[in-house]
Structure 1
């Protein structure tokens, strides 16, 4: 029986791996029919491969990649991924054809890969990094083990979770600072003749914070700032961005003993409130739910959330088609799906945090309860 229990998780894991690969091949095999590269749910001003192609073309033409107000990524990505947007026509080796219809899902997949690797290597939100490096992976609070140790006097001190340590945090901060300076120097060299590093900050982070592009997406900021008066624009920009900061500290204090789950909550909140979200952001934090399948087993609205995400994924393209192409709808139809999508993410975060706290509360009740007799 024990062998069967050990084989079952592995078998189910490989089933999901094979299914995901097949689904990915289907998306690659029908790129023209699905037309994912032009979908606002997939391609955003930050992840659009078309904009990357234009930025690379501008740089190849000895102009600033940010001159056309289209590209808003790192200049280093132009050197790494820019050549992928170009192909040479046979018989005309000097003629370059830029693939403006390249896949947006390719770019979003790479972005999510970097974020996933960051979570795996402890390089994500800094507050979560501090807890993960200082306390280790997710675990019940140390005081629960101490209480159990005092009652039963069974656990040895060597078996207790280690305390908080600043040494790995200082080590990480040093190398993170070193690599950041190294990357900034490379960016400055790449943009030396086009305005320097300040031009990059203005066209990347400044573009994100000011929400200059109001292209429709599955977020809520584009519609809000399209309707708000210019006189109040700066005020609401501060409100939306500061709102994220107010959530970081309370969550970090409450979930300090579960840094991996804290990273999941941060990613979900940021994908919900970011200026230019896409379905790739949801795919990232929904994929991380597998880490906490046992702790979140008591979530009350799991089926409701599943139906909601599925319904939004079907209605969003329909509403966009009715608004843009058929002219039988308007922006309110598409924005309604974005509002539902935001509400679903809020419910997921609230229910997830509540389920995790209930799980910890059950552990606390078990550890503080009366110890059972050894014979029983």
Structure 2
């Protein structure tokens, strides 16, 4: 990392430290857009207290963090609570640094790949190809997109465990792009046991390491399953009980807490008849995990990192308990696909969706909960529009990638009967 990047990291840390010293943490820590039953700092505090009192924190329905992390944070929370904001800021800066390093490696690999394929490219496609300057521009854009995104800043200030999830995902992407198989599988297993949905990221690993070897793919799946069992076993030895499985993975899958959030689950499960719950539960969970996995893996089989980006984005939209911190993480990955931006047609629409819906959420929540002049439909309407904006963004990125790949080999100007044709995806 050069001096400019270190300065950006220092500024990003200073911004987080400044907001941590204000009244903002207590306000954001109670906002349902950032704090969910899974990542809330208040629930972690409750779990640590119960653990210190010798009470199983998973007997009730308040604590949903894994025993390993509760045990790790308990001594810090009890003896050095005033240093906790510094720890979260440090973890967030580590995430940004890992994303920066991963981006540099990714661009270097793309440049090497281009040198081998350039002879097949059309003549008028220079602006679609990665250039030497992208080794510096793209990583800096990724760094800035993570460090100075209000969603990631506020998520860190609120001391949500999304900070740790983002760190683990960044470490996974970094080790994956560096082709460190065992470490990436172990990291993925740890995060899967915590929050279930990262299990879909086994697909990019298989495409990267075992695209031409079925036996190697089976071996990676067995290694992943072994690591998951090892992590679960380590959590068992902390608690001497398997109750944590129902309190973490079971809680996520069965969606027991109907507290509103920025996702789609809570409203449907609040309004539906109870005898339809199992059908909708399976449908929603399939939509959040395996529904898009096979078609996307086939289409993006040559781009494992793009597949990982899209899967992280989709799970941030469709998971049971999403937060704005999850959204901020995948937004930081978009500069990796800077050469696709030319073909992204809905940038203004997506920006407008994000700006308006994020502004409306706070106002509609106040009208619903405090003023009593609105109801759940108002707030859900804003969150539904926000999810729609995210889907526009993800599909726009996918279409842009397909158009870029087509134009690289066929040229940007295609003439039919002497007239320039338009490229449309149907």
What whole-Å deviation, never above 9, does each CA across 1:314-373 have from its counterpart, x for those lacking one? 111111122112222221111111110110111111111100000111123159x9xxxx
Tell me the equivalent position of 1:109: 163
Structure 2 spans left out of the alignment, 5+ residues: 82-155, 177-183, 189-200, 415-426
* Equivalent residue for 2:274, pick from 218, 222, 230: 230
Q: Within 1, Cα distance between the matches of 2:404 and 2:327?
A: 24
Q: Within 2, Cα distance between the matches of 1:168 and 1:11?
A: 41
* Equivalent residue for 2:230, pick from 182, 207, 210: 182
* Equivalent residue for 2:290, pick from 235, 238, 245: 245
**TM-score normalised by length of structure 2:** 0.68
CA contact (8 A) 2:26 2:158 kept: no
- Which one has more relative contact order, counting CA pairs under 8 Å at least 6 apart? 2
Is 1:346 paired with 2:391? yes
Structure 1 spans left out of the alignment, 5+ residues: 1-9, 90-101, 136-163, 370-376
Is 1:209 paired with 2:253? yes
Tell me the equivalent position of 1:72: 64
Q: 1:15 to 1:286 in 2, by over 3 A?
A: farther
Tell me the equivalent position of 2:44: 52
* Equivalent residue for 1:317, pick from 362, 378, 393: 362
CA contact (8 A) 1:221 1:275 kept: yes
Q: 1:177 to 1:224 in 2, by over 3 A?
A: closer
Tell me the equivalent position of 1:283: 328
Q: Greater helix share, 1 or 2? A: 2
RMSD of aligned residue pairs (Cα, Å) = 2.8
Bigger radius of gyration among the two = 1
Is 1:119 paired with 2:167? no
Q: Within 1, Cα distance between the matches of 2:218 and 2:282?
A: 32
**How many pairs does the alignment contain?**
316
Shift of 1:130: 0.9
Q: Within 1, Cα distance between the matches of 2:336 and 2:210?
A: 20
CA contact (8 A) 2:65 2:248 kept: yes
Q: Within 1, Cα distance between the matches of 2:298 and 2:370?
A: 48
Q: 1:259 to 1:37 in 2, by over 3 A?
A: same
Tell which deviates more after alignment, 250-259 or 304-313: 304-313
Q: 1:301 to 1:33 in 2, by over 3 A?
A: same
Tell me the equivalent position of 1:94: none
Shift of 1:172: 5.0
Shift of 1:70: 0.2
CA contact (8 A) 2:364 2:379 kept: yes
Tell me the equivalent position of 2:124: none
Tell me the equivalent position of 1:93: none
Q: 1:88 to 1:268 in 2, by over 3 A?
A: closer
CA contact (8 A) 2:34 2:160 kept: no
* Equivalent residue for 1:335, pick from 380, 384, 390: 380
Specify the SS of the correspondent of 1:86.
helix
Q: Within 2, Cα distance between the matches of 1:105 and 1:303?
A: 32
Tell me the equivalent position of 1:140: none
Specify the SS of the correspondent of 1:56.
helix
CA contact (8 A) 2:313 2:327 kept: yes
Tell me the equivalent position of 1:295: 340
Q: Within 2, Cα distance between the matches of 1:52 and 1:34?
A: 15
* Equivalent residue for 1:40, pick from 32, 38, 54: 32
Q: Within 1, Cα distance between the matches of 2:290 and 2:3?
A: 42
Q: Within 2, Cα distance between the matches of 1:351 and 1:333?
A: 27
CA contact (8 A) 1:47 1:104 kept: no
Tell me the equivalent position of 2:113: none
Q: Within 2, Cα distance between the matches of 1:21 and 1:294?
A: 29
Tell which deviates more after alignment, 323-332 or 258-267: 323-332
